[in-house]
Structure 1
Amino acid sequence: MATARAFPSPSRSTLFRAAFAVNTTLILAFVYLLFTQASVGAPRYAIYGVTWVAVGLWVLFDTEVVPASTATRRKAAAVGFGYFVLLAGAGGLVTTPVPGGTGGFRVAFLPPGWGPALIYGGDLFNLVLMPARVVGYAALAYLVYETVIEAAGAAVSGIVGLFSCVSCSWPIVASLMTSVFGSGTAIVATVTTLSYDLSTAVFLVTVVLLRWRPGFGR
């Protein structure tokens, strides 16, 4: 059984990738604010959105997957994909149609990180593709993929991370399903709720659990 990884001192390459992810996110946020009608709104929510994107990009750039057989990679990919799908439903990326909701595609210019959000309203399902959620959940799914490949024993921490994240995502589901397909004011209101404080904290903790897997040894 694989041992848990200690919290290592960051290497030069890790620091470089982290700086690249942060700089890229800040540049994109500045360009977004400059060329759209979006506003920062409450500063802390803009910080949350930028944090999700920056941390997500850093995970995707900096996570190295150990060599494995094709069969193992396929199984790990299936687990990672299932994890992303579960988070997409629990975190509000995919929701059931709301009676009287707006159909078709539109873009919501929410604060940086949360916007620009691509929104689709259909007869079978709705999509709310906020950059922070898409990048963040993709990063978590990739960490689960990497965890399953590295060792069967280490996959236990992936399960712990999965349930800890999803269990705290229900406030997000309730917020998005009740307001995101309402008026423009209701859409903006979704980024000014306590669920975003909680979900950001849970996201960061889950990244730590999945990347370093503390507490799981031989």
Structure 2
Amino acid sequence: MSSNTARSTLDALPSERVLWLGLLCALELLAVVAYFRFTSSELVSVRYALYPFVWINVGVLAVVATDPIPTARRYRLLGVAVAVGYFLLLAWFAGMVSLAPAGHDHAASGVSVAMPSPGWGPTLSYTGAVFQFALVPFRVVGYLSLAYLVYATVLESLSASATGLIGLFSCVSCAFPLLSSLASGTAGSAAALATVYAFGVDLSTLVFVVAVALLYWRPGVPSRGGA
């Protein structure tokens, strides 16, 4: 085989990143199949079982492909502060973190772990005297990836208000007031709101992907640090 033929063959092979992604998807599918095969849980919807991996895979790919530009330490600290605040804001609107309800029985406080299907679980929950949280794996990974992309955006001295805030709408609970106000002035608004609830996971997954895409590519930016 000539050197040119060998080079053409190597160029035709999938990149290392694609191979790792394929392996990751295979392991995720195997985990889902094994979960429903060896537990008493019933698979109600295939898409709801797979949506968590859309969040995880898209988020991880965006983070791996993003290389924040080198900059001064004070700007990195500012970027970290903005990213942490952004993540906490997302977690708050998503209901992952909240204040403990009034009149909460402190005897019931503590840590618990639930085991829904992979991606949805294992879910770590905590209820205390002041606050409570429920960490759903795919949302944690998704929101961390959005926060990292916001960090990279801040380092490029850009305002994250236009694209970064779109990430807020990856949680239907924070998009709901907007959808509610739009629907309130139309006939059949109750049906429209019911549709939002019925397809909440679908909508949040779609907007999450759009948010990641806008934060990664940032249309109109002349230069960026992404790979």
TM over 0.5: yes
- The residue identity in structure 2 corresponding to 1:60 is V
Query: Comparing both chains, which one has the higher relative contact order based on Cα–Cα distances under 8 Å and sequence gaps of 6 or more?
Result: 1
Report whether the alignment pairs 1:131 with 2:137. Answer: yes
TM-aligned CA deviation for residue 114 of structure 1: 1.4
Query: 1:25 touches 1:53 (CA, 8 Å); kept in 2?
Result: no
Quote the sequence identity (%).
Answer: 35
Q: Does 1:199 align with 2:204?
A: yes
Q: Alpha carbons of 1:32 and 1:67: their partners in 2 closer, same or farther (altered >3 Å)? A: farther
State which structure, 1 or 2, has the greater radius of gyration over its C-alpha atoms: 2
Bigger drift between 159-168 and 67-76 goes to 159-168
Distance 1:21 1:66 in 2: 28
Gapped regions of structure 1 (runs ≥ 5): 1-10, 175-191
Q: Which residue of 2 aligns with 1:67?
A: 70
Q: Where do 1:158-169 residues align within 5 Å?
A: 158-167=160-169, 169=171
1:107 aligns with 2:100: no
Which one of the candidate residues 19, 44, 48 is aligned to 1:45? 48
1:54-84 deviation per Cα after TM superposition (whole angstroms, max 9, x unaligned): 2222223222122112111111111111111
**Structure 2 equivalent of residue 140 of structure 1:** 146
TM-score (norm 1): 0.72
TM-score (norm 2): 0.69
Tell me how far apart the structure 2 counterparts of residues 88 and 197 of structure 1 sit (CA, whole Å).
19
The size of the alignment, in residue pairs, is 187
SS of 1:105's equivalent in the other structure is strand
The residue aligned with 1:186 is: none
1:88 and 1:94 in contact (8 A); partners too? yes
Which whole-Å CA distance do the structure 2 matches of 1:40 and 1:137 have between them? Answer: 26
Amino acid across the alignment from 2:64: F
Give, in whole Å, the separation in 1 of the partners of 2:84 and 2:65: 20
Structure 1 pair 90–193 and aligned structure 2 pair: CA distance change class (3 A): same
Alignment gaps of 5+ in structure 2: 1-13, 177-196
